[in-house]
């Protein structure tokens, strides 16, 4: 029989040459596009050069800041005064000459923050200049250098140089581990995690009741005599291992919900390899979120379920909920071929949709927007095309950039200059358990959602039709966090503009991770909460913050109460059929680790 398979076209040698050169340039700039950086710098420099008034204002600002810095450094500060910047909390920073170094650095920081704001620049370029100016200044902080950090010098004298020796040893170990990290290193050969998965974390008892190529579904064992009739399906982000929501028993959201009488199921995403390069976003929606809903219904027998989506998992959940809302208005025999192929017919009704730090409008993506433009996405595609995936190291590096002062420079000072071991706690151990993303899926996600904001603009298509979040009919609870660099809360808040259903909005104290993992009993935790009913109209986010009451404690308790209000009469816990059990929790997919 004649082979009708089309021949693979020969690669264009000129394109290969371009890719090689641009990849080299990108690697030399820590994965960033030198073209994008140069364009931003040129935009800033040219507008500043044509703005003599701005130049005069900056000169005056420099003179005033210099005067203030000299004045503060000459007059010793009160050692008991509160220093807001954690890098300079040691009392020695109030003494000469370190006070002069500190005040000079703070003056430079203030000046550059003003200098980065030049009228006429594109918003993206202004954002880039401001961001990288801060990165440079954070790197130049006198706290980062042994010769200018009094705390480092004092400890070196106190330990007779032992702290510096230990610091150099830590540096050598980290450098060796980085140089020898290979993608094909087996999991068992990697450095063990501080908190063992399945023993110290991800240890809530349960069973894996479903598995396909993309996901495992864990159903947790009940601990109460009766449970709510609607199970809770949690959709974590595929950017992270699921057990951020099942950390140590003391701060596990899964364990908390189980103990409150909820049947809890969670998706554990497969950690992809090069063979998964062509997985698409629609695979994550169809074989991921929708397949999970079908599996939960089959395992529990529930006709209605509550759903919770975290970060990118929340974005996926919102798309799935809107699709189900649209299809609910159609008879099953009226579904198109694409709908039948991608959407299971035996899905439960959604009793509620809870989104945790999840964006559905990406017009204001926060600090992540610095890394997203056409030029930088093209460079990322070239990098992913070689491997078939975005490595965990690349992803982790991007997130470290967002909080480099704490995640990079403060850690380096502590580990390499003071010779201290890294602080060990469950969230840090989870953060080291990195995941990958398939090349095609990640490219589609960044291009369609981040770059083109297709979901909010009514241009994102799934199952052969445009997704409109207005089709979500289930009541929603949406949670933002006050210090979120990944999903800024005002961006998350825009769900009010996109839906026409009940929305309870919660603004929790903390960041993208610590604000969500906020168990009852943790000190200094609070949240604001208010609801919007159908037809109530729009409230500006600043007005919302001014009006919404502040509640001390954990927002988990408000979520539990909100779920109970939308649940039926408690029932006997559904039994897990032995025929459905694939293996014990936490399953196999969460155990897959890679060196890169």
Contacts with 290 (C-beta within 8 Å, 6 or more apart), sequence order: 320, 342, 343, 344, 347
Strand 583-584 relative to strand 206-211: parallel, antiparallel, unpaired? antiparallel
CA angle 368, 370, 374 (to 5 degrees): 105
Query: For tokens 């926060």, what's the residue?
Result: 366
The 3-state DSSP class for residue 161 equals coil
The β-bridge partners of 437 are 390
d(CA 440, CA 443): 5
List the one residue out of 135, 54, 143 whose CA is nearest residue 105.
143
d(CA 231, CA 293): 10
d(CA 105, CA 79): 19
CA angle 547, 553, 557 (to 5 degrees): 95
List the one residue out of 397, 219, 214, 218 whose CA is nearest residue 316.
214
Q: Using alpha carbons, list the distances in angstroms from residue 505 to 111, 358, 542, 558.
A: 37, 12, 13, 11
Measured on CA atoms in the order 447, 451, 453, 458, is the torsion positive or negative?
A: negative
d(CA 246, CA 593): 18
Helix residue ranges, H only, 160-228: 162-179
d(CA 220, CA 261): 11
* DSSP code at position 211: E
d(CA 271, CA 240): 9
Which one of the listed residues 203, 238, 311, 583 is annotated catalytic?
311
Query: For tokens 């009541």, what's the residue?
Result: 475
Cis peptide before 569 (omega within 30 of 0): no
- Strand ranges, E, within 143-288: 206-211, 215-220, 232-235, 264-269
The 3-state DSSP class for residue 236 equals coil
The 3-state DSSP class for residue 551 equals strand
The DSSP secondary structure of 92-156, one letter per residue, reads GGGSTTHHHHHHHHHHHHHHHHHHT--TTS-HHHHHHHHHHHHHHHHHH-GGGSGGG-HHHHHHH
Catalytic residue status for 50: no
Residues forming the active site: 311
């Amino acid at each position: 029989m004649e082979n009708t398979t089309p021949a693979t076209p020969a690669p264009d040698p000129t394109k290969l040459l371009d890719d090689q050169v641009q990849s080299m340039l990108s690697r030399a700039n820590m994965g960033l596009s030198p073209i994008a950086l140069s364009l931003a710098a040129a935009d800033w420099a040219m507008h500043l050069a044509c703005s003599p008034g701005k130049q005069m204002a900056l000169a005056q600002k420099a003179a005033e800041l210099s005067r203030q810095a000299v004045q503060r450094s000459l007059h010793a500060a009160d050692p008991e005064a509160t220093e807001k910047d954690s890098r300079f909390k040691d009392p020695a920073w109030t003494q000469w000459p370190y006070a002069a170094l500190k005040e000079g650095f703070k003056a430079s920081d203030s000046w550059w923050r003003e200098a980065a704001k030049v009228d006429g620049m594109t918003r993206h370029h202004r954002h880039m200049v401001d961001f990288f100016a801060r990165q440079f200044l954070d790197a130049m902080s006198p706290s980062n250098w042994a010769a200018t950090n009094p705390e480092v010098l004092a400890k070196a004298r106190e330990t007779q140089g032992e702290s510096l020796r230990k610091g150099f040893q830590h540096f050598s170990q980290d450098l060796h581990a980085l140089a020898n990290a290979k993608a094909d290193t087996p999991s068992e050969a990697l450095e063990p995690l501080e908190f063992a998965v399945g023993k110290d974390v991800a240890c809530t008892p349960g069973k894996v009741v479903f598995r396909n190529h993309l996901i495992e579904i864990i159903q947790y064992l009940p601990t109460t005599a009766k449970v709510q009739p609607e199970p809770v399906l949690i959709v974590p982000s595929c950017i992270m291992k699921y057990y951020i929501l099942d950390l140590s028993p003391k701060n596990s959201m899964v364990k908390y919900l189980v103990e409150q009488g909820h049947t809890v199921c969670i998706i554990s995403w497969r950690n992809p390899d090069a063979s998964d390069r062509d997985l698409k976003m629609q695979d994550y929606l169809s074989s991921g979120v929708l397949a999970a809903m079908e599996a939960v219904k089959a395992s529990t027998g529930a006709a209605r379920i509550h759903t919770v989506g975290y970060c990118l998992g929340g974005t996926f959940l919102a798309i799935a909920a809107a699709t189900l809302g649209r299809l609910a208005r159609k008879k099953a025999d009226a579904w198109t071929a694409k709908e039948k192929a991608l959407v299971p017919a035996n899905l439960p009704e959604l009793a509620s949709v809870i989104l945790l730090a999840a964006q559905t409008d990406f017009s204001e993506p926060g600090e992540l927007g610095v890394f997203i433009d056409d030029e930088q996405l093209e460079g990322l595609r070239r990098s992913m095309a070689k491997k078939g995936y975005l490595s965990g190291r690349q992803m982790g590096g991007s997130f470290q950039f967002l909080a480099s002062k704490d995640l990079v420079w403060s850690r380096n000072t502590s580990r390499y200059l003071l010779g201290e071991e890294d602080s060990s706690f469950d969230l840090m151990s989870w953060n080291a358990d990195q995941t990958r993303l398939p090349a095609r899926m990640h490219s589609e996600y960044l291009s369609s959602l981040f770059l083109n904001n297709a979901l909010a603009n009514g241009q994102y298509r799934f199952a052969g039709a445009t997704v409109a979040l207005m089709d979500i009919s289930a009541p929603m609870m949406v949670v933002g966090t006050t210090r979120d660099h990944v999903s800024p809360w005002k961006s998350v808040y825009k769900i009010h503009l996109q839906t026409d259903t009940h929305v309870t909005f919660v603004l929790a104290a903390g960041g993208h991770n610590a604000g969500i993992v906020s168990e009852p009993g943790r000190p200094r935790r609070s949240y604001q909460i208010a609801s919007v009913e159908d037809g109530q109209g729009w409230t500006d986010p600043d007005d919302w913050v001014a009006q919404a009451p502040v509640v001390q404690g954990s927002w988990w308790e408000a979520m539990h109460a909100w779920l109970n209000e939308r649940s039926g009469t408690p029932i006997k816990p559904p039994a897990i059929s032995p025929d459905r059990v694939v293996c014990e929790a936490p399953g196999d997919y969460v155990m897959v680790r890679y060196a890169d």
